Amino acid sequence: MTEVAHLVPYDEALSRYEPVIGIETHVELGTTTKMFCGCATTFGLEPNTSVCPVCLGLPGSLPVTNRAAIEYTIRIGLALNCTIATWCRFARKNYFYPDMPKDFQISQYDEPLCTDGWLDVVVEGQNFRIGIERVHLEEDTGKSLHIGGATGRIHGAEYSLVDYNRAGIPLVEVVTKPVAGTGALAPVVARAYVTELRDLLRALGVSDVRMEEGSLRSDVNTSLAPRGVAEWGTRTETKNVNSLRSVERAVRFEIERQAAVLDEGQKVVQETRHFHEDNGTTTPGRSKEEAQDYRYFPEPDLVPVAPEREWVDRIRASLPELPAARRIRLQAEWGLSDLDMSQLSNAGALDLVSETVAAGASAADARKWWMGELARHANETSADLATLPITPAQVARVSALIKAGTINDKLARQVLAAVLAGEGDPDEVVQARGLAVVSDDAALTEAVDAAIAANPDIAAKIRDGKTAAAGALVGAVMKATRGRADANRVRELIIQRLS
């Protein structure tokens, strides 16, 4: 296997080659029981405690199809604009692997439940329609744990353990058609697609879509062809990429690496590759099996699946509002531009702003705080907005306190910082820190007089009619009151005293 020692810088690679991407996403369905038996699908149980003869593949055991898993898959297919098969079969995919107790996996091969759909994603104001080749249903494998190796991989491990709790959990695979014509945006489009798919699956309520727990994982295919050449290049498949950021990085790295391979006049090897989170690179896995290596044949232990049309229609009628439609509705309700909306969406702030508005804030205020002060804080602490220790209700309360004149914008920043620091609810912080605006004229006049006395030159200018100079005195009062004064009222009082 030839591995290039260098990469071609991204922009240079794109100037000579056109990328084509494709994404296969595995989603663990959130059914309460497994695909072909009654074992619980609960995450995090003691190893090998949620198993039975069926999911352990013991001789004589027979699978029974989980109706909820079929329904969930149809939901996904309909939401992805697919055609739902009127009749299809499961297939036996034969391969030997310790985490596959039956030594075959029940999957779908040439008769998938859902075919030929699409999902739109918007990147930098441009719409990309991602074709969906198929959505099929299969069972998950168990989980191997390699003990003693440095990286958790089998190489260098002293021994391995297998946990079959995950074996037989329903798994849906969503396969895109090849996506061409994205040019330099290919890595971002790949990420946007997985993000959109994740949000769609979450809205459908079919999976908890936790990438970090492996309930959603993507294999990312990338190929390059010289610009102007119609034929696509040989693709690689980067396996089990488990974060949105990694999806983008994996495509980017493969573009830079494959460009170097092609520049040297070599051929890209069709293979699976591993992505390394630590340095953003990929390394070769196994050379890619062909379908014939799996010796697929119709699963003889299961009856075919033939969803009644009335049932499919009922499922279609029960689909919730999908993310794209929700974005369009919210954008109109909130009166935001396309750019504002896509920024909000890309920052993962859509739900937060929505919940803040539901808690009583205006859309403009909610957006201002989440995309401003709170986004800055998230950035500084390398946290996701959604994981900040502040709730939409608390942000709405800060907004209400400003509206009521209790605090101003500047004090609001201090209140937010204190809430983030765990000092309690906004009202508690205002109380404990004495952050309420001083609007009582007697107290303000005292501060104004002190500022005038301390700055006789400026006071003289204002007396001469140069009211623009009042700003300096307002500043002095704000400083003396630690930002708690109402600046407009202070200005009025200064002019009053000096006219």
Q: Does 55 bind Zn ion (CB under 5 A)?
A: yes
Q: Quote the least distance from Cβ 297 to Zn ion, whole Å.
A: 23
- Per-residue binding letters, 421-450, with Zn ion (x by CB under 5 A): ------------------------------
Q: Does 40 bind Zn ion (CB under 5 A)?
A: no
**DSSP category for residue 373:** I
Contacts of 101 (CB under 8 A, 6+ apart): 55, 56, 57, 142, 164, 167
Our CB check for Zn ion shows the closer of 98 and 389 to be 98
d(CA 448, CA 426): 29
Q: Quote the least distance from Cβ 138 to Zn ion, whole Å.
A: 15
Of 188, 301, 280, nearest in space to 238 by CA: 280
The sign one gets for the Cα dihedral 298, 300, 306, 311 is negative
User: Residue 53 corresponds to which amino acid?
Assistant: P
d(CA 375, CA 169): 37
d(CA 137, CA 170): 7
Contacts of 308 (CB under 8 A, 6+ apart): none
For residue 305, count other CB atoms closer than 10 A to its CB: 20
Q: Quote the least distance from Cβ 48 to Zn ion, whole Å.
A: 11
Our CB check for Zn ion shows the closer of 54 and 259 to be 54
Q: Quote the least distance from Cβ 60 to Zn ion, whole Å.
A: 14
Q: Which stretch binds Zn ion (CB under 5 A): 46-54, 84-92, 297-305, 432-440?
A: 46-54
Of these, 4, 40, 52, 420, which contacts Zn ion (CB under 5 A)? 52
d(CA 473, CA 479): 10
> Residue 68 has which token pair?
């909820």
Q: Does 45 bind Zn ion (CB under 5 A)?
A: no
One DSSP character per residue, 410-447 reads HHHHHHHHHHHTT---HHHHHHHHT-S-B--HHHHHHH
Our CB check for Zn ion shows the closer of 37 and 341 to be 37
Of these, 37, 200, 315, 407, which contacts Zn ion (CB under 5 A)? 37
Our CB check for Zn ion shows the closer of 140 and 248 to be 140
Q: Which stretch binds Zn ion (CB under 5 A): 31-39, 58-66, 227-235, 486-494?
A: 31-39
Q: Which of residues 236-255 bind Zn ion (CB under 5 A)?
A: none
Q: Which stretch binds Zn ion (CB under 5 A): 23-31, 44-52, 205-213, 346-354?
A: 44-52
N residues, the chain: 499
Q: Quote the least distance from Cβ 41 to Zn ion, whole Å.
A: 10
Q: Applying CB under 5 A, which residues contact Zn ion?
A: 37, 39, 52, 54-55
